[in-house]
Amino acid sequence: MNGRRRKAAEGEPSCGAAQQHRTYAIERGAAGAPLSRRVFVSLGANLGDRAAYLAAAREALAALPATALVAVSRIYETAPQDLPDQDAFLNQVVCLETALQPLDLLRECQRIEREHGRVRELRFGPRTLDIDILLFQDAESDDPELTLPHPRMVKRAFVLVPLAEVWEHAQGMPDMDVAELGRATTRTQQVRLYDATEG
Ligand code: ADP
Ligand code: MG
């Protein structure tokens, strides 16, 4: 695009032991109107250097055309739920602002997954990187290729807890109490803040 949006490259957060969720400045048009739409994306990894895969995903998303990183949650560690007997996942939610259309963003997410070694073998099985689109501003869809909001997001503590941290950046999203939904799911699902010094 035409340089109207500041890239987040310099501001890419490092997630150290004392993690903080981060917010990035977004430039707007002359009339103050948003130039594009907000999106929440969830990142997950449970193979290899999991934190490095999340970092690579954040960087690749921020580098997409007409796309800027708005905020990133802290990173959480979660025991595998849908298919046990695999390593724990690291999960994070990022908020983007993008002029891409939803399906184009999905294809970019799938390309980023492929470029980071993801092989689709088992559904819900181990993966170096999983990128799901949770919510897309002013968009709803029941298309199986891209269902919006993501059909399983409201049941998953590992999505809701990090999402609550960046929910203040929501625009044109369903009216839901993400923090309360997150609290409800953590009664039965454990999510733990990840300490990057653990490796
Ligand atoms: P999962 O994320 O459910 O563990 P996959 O990442 O393998 O599984 O995705 C399975 C399919 O889900 C993909 O082929 C994709 O087209 C579809 N899909 C439907 N809605 C979404 C969404 N909101 N975000 C990402 N993928 C989605
Ligand atoms: Mg996925």
How many angstroms is it from 111 CA to the middle of ligand 2?
12
Cβ 148 under 6 angstroms from ligand 1 = yes
Tell me if 155 sits within 8 A of 185, measured CB to CB.
Answer: yes
Instruction: Give this prediction's pTM.
Output: 0.83
In the prediction, which pLDDT does 9 show? 40
Each residue's pLDDT tens digit, 91-104: 999 999 999 999 99
Q: Which CATH number fits domain 37-194: 3.30.390.50, 3.30.420.40, 3.30.70.560, 1.10.3720.10?
A: 3.30.70.560
For the chain, which residues make up each domain, given as ranges? 37-194
Each residue's pLDDT tens digit, 24-81: 554 555 565 556 999 999 999 988 899 999 999 999 999 999 999 999 999 999 988 7
pLDDT at 115 over 70: yes
Q: What is the position in ligand 1's atom list of the atom closest to the CA of 152? A: 3
CA 192/CA 77 separation, integer angstroms: 5
- Residue for token pair 């950046």: 169
Residue 173 CA, distance from chain mean position = 15
**Residue type for 38, please?**
R
Cβ 141 under 6 angstroms from ligand 1 = no
